[in-house]
Amino acid sequence: MDLSKDDSAFWVLRTFGYAAVAYTTGVLGSSLINFTIYKKKVYFTDLFAQLPNRQALCKKLLECSKLQTTGHFAIVIVTVSNSKTLAEIFGNKVLKSIFHQFKDRYSDIAERMSSKMETYSLGTNQISFFFEKNEEETLESKEKFEGSIINASKKNFLHDGFFVHCDSHIGLYRFTDFSEINSGELPIGYAEEAVDTAVKQMKDLVVYNPSSLVQKSKYSKATDLLGDIDLAIRSRWMFLVYQPKIDIATGKIQSVEALIRWNHPVKGFVPPGMFIPQAEQSTLIENITDFVIKQAILQLKLWQRSGIDVDIAVNVSTYNLLQPNFVNKVLYLLQENKLDTKKLEIEITEGSLITDFQHVLNGLKRLHDASIKIALDDFGTGYSSLQYLQKLPIDFLKIDQSFVRNLETSKQSKEIVKAIVDLAHTINIKTIAEGIETMADYDYLNSVGCDMGQGFYMAKPLTSNAFVSWYSENNGVFKKVES
Ligand code: C2E
Ligand code: MG
Ligand code: MG
C-alpha cells in the first residue's frame, strides 16, 4: 500500500476498509467463540428437556472419579413407561413438564435428607438424578429414601391443567468410593440395568446388585413372549373362545364373553394372565385388542347368519381407551360390518381405571352414547370406588369370582353379593356374577335378583364350533342340571 498518496477520498476509503476488516474479524472471532460455547452447550444439554444430558452426567462422574471423591452417592434413573401414550395424547411437551416436576420433587427429598442433587435427562423417556451425601446411610435412612422417591413418582403430574398419570419405574445404584469406579459410564450402566429390571418385573423400584445379572435370563421369558405376539396373531396361534352369559331368571343365553387363547408352537398354552399385563406395557395391546374386536365382530356375523342371536363382550384395556382413535376405530368396524352397536359390550377392569380417569371416562362416554354397552369387570377387587359407579356410564357390573366362589361357605360373601346387587339396582345398573360353579351358587344369585351369570356350571369358555353345538342343544335357553 502506498502511504504517501495524498488523496482524501482514498484515505476515507482506506479508513473504512480497515474498519470493515476489523469489524468483520471481531464479529467472526466472537461468533467463533460463541459457536464453540454453543457447541459445548449442545453437546452437554438435552435441548428439548432443557436439562444436562447423559454426556454431562458421564463427565461429572468421570471428574469425581479422577478426583477419587469419597462420600455416599446414588444414581437414580426413572423410566416413564407410558411416555409414548402420553406424548400421543398431550404432545411431546408433557414429558418436559413431567421431568421438571420430577426434578422439583426429588430436590425437595434431597433437601430433607441433607443431600446434594443434580438432574440429567437421559433421552425421551428417562431422567436421572445424582445424589451426593457426606453422612453415612443407615438401613432405615436407605428405606426412607427409597420410599420417598417411589411416592414422589406416583403422585399425578400437572400439565396444561390436566392431571397426568405417569407409569414410572426406578433403578437405583448406590456406591461410596469413586476410586473403585474409574469410569463415568459404569455407574450409569448399573443404574440402567436396575431400571430395566424394574420395567421388566413391573416393580416400582429395583436397587442394583450384582446378582441381578444372573436373574436377567429369568425375565427374558416374558420379553420373548412379547416378541412373538405379532407373529402369533398373524399365524392364528391366537384365537378366541366364547363363554356364555345367561339371564339367571329365565336361562336365556343372552351374550358371550370373547376370551383370548394363545397356543404357542414351542411353549404350549400360554394363559392370558401371562401376556396381557405385559402387552399392556407396550403398544402390543393395540394389536391384541384390534384382533379381538375384529374377530368378535366377524364371529357374531357368522352366528347371526345361522340364527344365533347373542351379544358379544370383549375385554378392553384402559391403554386402548387412551389411544386417541380407538373409539373411532370401534365404531368404524361396527359400521363396516353392518353390526348393530347394541350387540357389542366392552368389559373394562375396575383396577385399571386409576390410569388417567378423565380420558378413560371420555372414551367410555363416546362408546356408551353410540349404544355400546359397558361392563365394569372384576368388581369388588382392587380399587373399588363408589365414585366410579356414579361417574362412569356403566350398564353392567360384573361381581368378581372371589365373592361368588365362596357363596356356599361364607355368609359374608353372600351378604356382600346381595349388597352389590341391591346397590347396583338402585342406580339402574345390571349385575353379572362371574365364576358360578354350582347350582347352589346359581340359585342363590337368582334369589337375590342378580341379573346375569357366567361360569363353569353353565359352560366353560368354548370354541366357536363348540358354542354353536352347546347353544343348539340348549335351544337358546340354559336348563339347570344338578352340578
Ligand atoms: P375376565 O375378563 O374376568 O374373564 C373371566 C375369566 O374367568 C376367564 O379366564 C374365564 O375362563 C374364567 N372363568 C369363567 N368362569 C369361571 C368359573 O366358573 N371358574 C373359574 N375358576 N374360572 C372361570 P381367562 O380366559 O383365563 O381370562 C383371564 C383374564 O384375562 C380375563 O378375566 C381378562 O381380564 C383377561 N383377558 C382374557 N382375554 C382377553 C382379551 O382378549 N383382552 C384383554 N385385554 N384381556 C383379556
Ligand atoms: Mg372380562
Ligand atoms: Mg372378570
Report which bound ligand comes closest to the CA of 272: 1
Residues with a beta carbon under 5 angstroms from ion ligand 3? 377-378, 434
403 Cα: distance to centroid of ligand 3 (angstroms): 12
Q: 276 with 225: CB under 8 angstroms? A: no
Residue 173 CA to ligand 1 centre (angstroms): 39
Question: In degrees, to the nearest 5, what angle opens at C-alpha 165 toward C-alphas 162 and 170?
Answer: 140
Ligand 1 centroid–CA 290 distance in Å is 18
**Which residues form the pocket of ligand 1, taking CB atoms under 6 Å from any ligand atom?**
243, 259-260, 271-273, 276, 292, 315, 317, 347, 349, 377-378, 401, 434-437, 454-456, 461
- The pLDDT of residue 353 is 61
Alpha-carbon distances of 195 from 98, 108, 120, rounded to whole Å: 18, 22, 15
- Closest-CA residue to 287 (of 331, 249, 250, 329): 329
SS3 assignment, position 121: strand
Closest CA to 119 of 86, 142, 148, 96: 96
**Ligand 1 pocket, mutate which of 242, 261, 276 (most atoms under 8 A from CB):** 276
pLDDT of residue 462: 97
For 317, the 3-state DSSP assignment is: coil
Query: Is the CB of residue 67 less than 8 Å from the CB of residue 163?
Result: no
Q: Which of 378, 382, 384 is nearest to 435 (CA)?
A: 378
Q: Is-contact 394 374, C-beta < 8 A?
A: yes
How much distance in Å is there from the Cα of 232 to the middle of ligand 2? 22
What ligand 1 atom has the least distance to the C-alpha of 378? 3
Nearest ligand by distance to the CA of 285: 1
- Of 170, 308, 290, nearest in space to 238 by CA: 290
Q: pTM for the whole thing?
A: 0.61
pLDDT number for residue 336? 95
Nearest atom in ligand 1 to 285's CA: 44
CB 321 within 8 A of CB 363: yes
Atom of ligand 1 nearest to the CA of 271: 26
- Classify each residue of 148-177 as buried b or exposed e, where b means 16 or more C-beta atoms within 10 Å of its C-beta: bbeebbeeebebeeeebbbbbbbbbbbbee
Mutation probe of ligand 1 site: the residue of 256, 315, 454, 458 with most atoms within 8 A of C-beta: 315
pLDDT in tens, the chain (483 residues): 444 445 555 555 565 565 555 555 555 455 545 545 555 667 889 988 999 998 899 889 888 888 878 889 999 999 999 898 888 888 889 999 999 999 999 999 999 999 999 999 998 899 999 999 888 888 888 989 999 999 999 888 999 888 888 889 999 999 888 876 666 777 888 899 899 988 887 888 999 976 544 344 333 445 557 778 888 888 888 999 999 999 999 999 999 999 999 887 766 678 888 788 878 877 889 999 999 999 999 999 999 999 999 999 999 998 888 888 999 999 999 999 999 999 999 999 866 666 677 888 899 999 999 999 999 998 887 665 677 788 889 999 999 999 998 898 889 999 999 999 999 999 999 999 999 999 999 999 999 999 999 999 999 999 999 999 999 999 999 998 877
DSSP 239-301: EEEEEEEEETTT-BEEEEEEEEEEEETTTEEE-HHHHHHHHTTSTHHHHHHHHHHHHHHHHHH
Q: Whose CA is nearest to atom 4 of ligand 1?
A: 259
Query: Of all protein residues, whose CA lies closest to atom 43 belonging to ligand 1?
Result: 315
pLDDT of residue 214: 38
Nearest CA, atom 19, ligand 1: 435
Rounded distance from Cα 259 to ligand 1 centre (Å): 6
Cell numbers standing for residue 453: 351369570
Cell numbers placing 130: 445424582
| Ligand nearest to C-alpha 273 | 1
